Structure 1
């Protein structure tokens, strides 16, 4: 099953007409995006982009063979023309299946927002899922179909999966991973998390971001952000073969996010895991009785986390890092972990510090670094970047600054990805 992306942008497109913003100013060349529309095998068109015939012709495609046009959402943005050859666009009621003469089967899926999602199964059994902007699947997905291997022999490649070999299908209870998923990854990362939670997106599912709009960061950051979610973007006009093997973007196993106060580092760390279910959020802040302002800060962090995430308040990170658990770990933050560790060894007292406290703290940091090195969990940790501003006025303050700098350096050495966030902008230091 061949799919051509006639557009990959939000309904208003990118750049948006008459918009003076920086994002629109940078949306030129392959970064310019028409409203999302997908042409499947030349016979099925999902959604429409302004000037669909021209958009198709520009990439060497024709709409003359299209037998069905399906709309997925109440449309906004520039008006869309319906060229003469195209049949009248329709929306399929939720739960109903449409079978085309070409052998494609389309099932309409209920969403948690106005619109309709479509599962498309090709004549050879390839499966794709298409969701409209701002939409996530609300109910159960159709049961997957397992393709039996052709009788000509086993898959080639020394046992590797041959996704181009298609045989008969048989229905199997439960949801099996789609070959390709097109959805609003950046606008609804929780929608991708839901699909992962029920097994509709697996390690070999090709996840492509569409409906890209002003929330899309400019330049290479789009690719980095999508890769951290296990997804990617394609320029308008790209043609994909559904079911062809394509290595999914590799999610970094260990990431350290550094930044100053109110730089956006915590929000960036949360964004990196927003498309994964059942993240364990480790809050090292603890509680401060009678401090209303601190309580408000903690509530703000808690309220913006996805509902599917779990939260624990602890500085005992070693057991969590040692767990053989498939769910990611988010630690926020290492500077508060260090505060707790310095409290435990009496680091604030000069006599205790020089009488063995410094050595005990070094041991604690060493144990944490080894645990990070040995951990098999996906880990994102947040820490404050210090030392670039005002020199602390007290010996204890300077000691904390120095030790946090050492901790950050040792922790970063064990991470595949290290990011620095300044004024909400992310600069990759590694990865």
Structure 2
């Protein structure tokens, strides 16, 4: 099957009419996107973009051969333009299947918002899934597999088009059910102004194992695409309230069964700390598990659910998110007495080095995906105490050693992410 994306934007397009935001201001030229519409083999059109005939002409296509027009979501605003000669657009009832003259088969998929998803099968047996903006398939949990029964049997789709950035949990559910695997081509559509266009857009999609194409682009189902591999190990650095934790969580939002490791623990009688912890928990996906511990080495060594016990190297091993290394180091320094000058010189330095070396060795040997957060300190202010300077120096060494074992290192400044490696 060959798909032409007549539009790839949100229903209001990008930039949104009259919107003064920075993302809309920079969505010009090739970064401007009309409402998402997909033309399949010149015969099936899913959704309508403004001026569909002109959009098709710009893409070198014609709508003359379209035999079916399907809508996936309610179209608010002005009446849709339906070029003369096109069939009347319609929706299909959930679960119903259509057989088209060209050999395509279409099945309506229930979603969790008003609208309809569509599974399309080609004559060669290839299958794709198209979801409306802001939607996830209904009835799929966040659990540990279970298989997804689609038209033509279970197994992963060849291509999925969905709102990756607006509904990352939808992709996580599809992965958990087996409907998406490492070979599935995931294309982000319904792109809105919530993410700046350009490098930041492509970086966030790549972190999810997805890509996008410009309006008018063509996608051949089953054709190999050089989508960047999701890094197995990532270190996210940043200062206080820089957005580093949110960035780390965003990198794993499209994956199921993430194990969130909180190294801060609990603090008796500290209401402000309890509030911080509660806010962190609330923004995490409901399907994630949380453990509060500083014993990181065994977790890094574990392969995670679904792993091959012989190699520990499966693609579906549960990812690990560690937040954060600075609190882990604080705990380690507490245990070895590193805050006291005499204890530090009497063996604390050596004991701490052994612990950090073991942690670095564990991340080097880790087979499961790992995203770790750490503070970037010591950029200017020199601590007033020897203990404070000791912590600053040791954290700098730990960040450098841990980062050296990661395929990707990111620095978050004022909510903006800079790739230092990868």
Shared fold, TM over 0.5: yes
1:77 shift after superposition: 5.1
How has the CA–CA distance of structure 1 residues 136 and 75 changed in structure 2, closer, same or farther, with 3 Å as cutoff? Answer: same
SS at match of 2:391: helix
1:195 and 1:378 map into 2 onto residues whose CA distance is 18
Task: Confirm or deny: 8 A CA contact 1:205 1:248 kept in the other structure.
Answer: no
What aligned pairs does 1:323-402 form with structure 2 within 5 A after superposition?
Answer: 323-325=302-304, 326-402=317-393
Whole-angstrom distance in 2 between the partners of 1:254 and 1:319: 16
* Alignment match, 1:151: none
Normalised by the length of structure 2, the TM-score is 0.94
Any unmatched runs of 5+ in structure 2? Answer: 141-146, 305-316
Distance 1:131 1:209 in 2: 10
1:23-422 aligned within 5 A: 23-76=23-76, 79-139=79-139, 143-144=149-150, 171-172=152-153, 175-325=154-304, 326-422=317-413
> Can you give the 5+ residue segments of structure 1 that lack an aligned partner in the other structure?
146-170
Contact 1:180 1:242 in 2 (8 A): yes
In 2, distance between residues paired with 1:231 and 1:102? 29
Partner-residue secondary structure (3-state), 1:337: helix
Offset, 1:245: 2.8
Judge which range, 348-357 or 218-227, deviates more: 218-227
CA 377–110 in structure 1, closer or farther in 2 if over 3 Å, else same:
same
Describe the SS at the equivalent of 1:193.
helix
The change in CA–CA distance for 1:330 and 1:13 in structure 2 (over 3 A counts) is same
Note the C-alpha offset of 1:215.
Answer: 1.4
Q: CA RMSD in A?
A: 1.3
Following superposition, the deviation at residue 26 of structure 1 comes to 0.7
The question of whether the paired residues in 1 share the 8 Å contact of 2:148 and 2:177 is answered with no
Query: Deviations along 1:75-108, whole A, 9 cap, x unmatched?
Result: 2355431110111100101111111111111111
Specify whether residues 203 and 248 from structure 1 end up closer, same or farther in structure 2 by C-alpha distance, changes over 3 A only: farther
Q: CA deviation at 1:389?
A: 3.8
Report the count of equivalent residues.
Answer: 404
Partner SS for 1:303: helix
CA deviation after TM superposition for structure 1 residue 217, in Å:
2.5
SS in 1 for 2:371: strand
Which runs of at least 4 in structure 1 moved beyond 4 Å after TM superposition? none
Indicate the residue corresponding to 1:161 in structure 2.
none
SS at match of 1:232: coil
TM-aligned CA deviation for residue 249 of structure 1: 2.9
TM-score scaled by length of structure 1: 0.92
CA contact (8 A) 1:257 1:420 kept: yes
Deviation track 1:141-163 (CA, whole Å, cap 9, x = no partner) reads: 97357xxxxxxxxxxxxxxxxxx
Q: Which of 36-45 and 17-26 deviates more?
A: 17-26
- What is residue 310 of structure 2 aligned with on the other side? none
Greater CA deviation, 47-56 or 224-233? Answer: 224-233
- Confirm or deny: 8 A CA contact 1:12 1:78 kept in the other structure: no
- Whether contact under 8 Å (1:50, 1:78) holds in the other structure is no
Q: Secondary structure at the match of 2:277?
A: helix
Determine the C-alpha separation between the residues in 2 that align with 1:34 and 1:79: 16
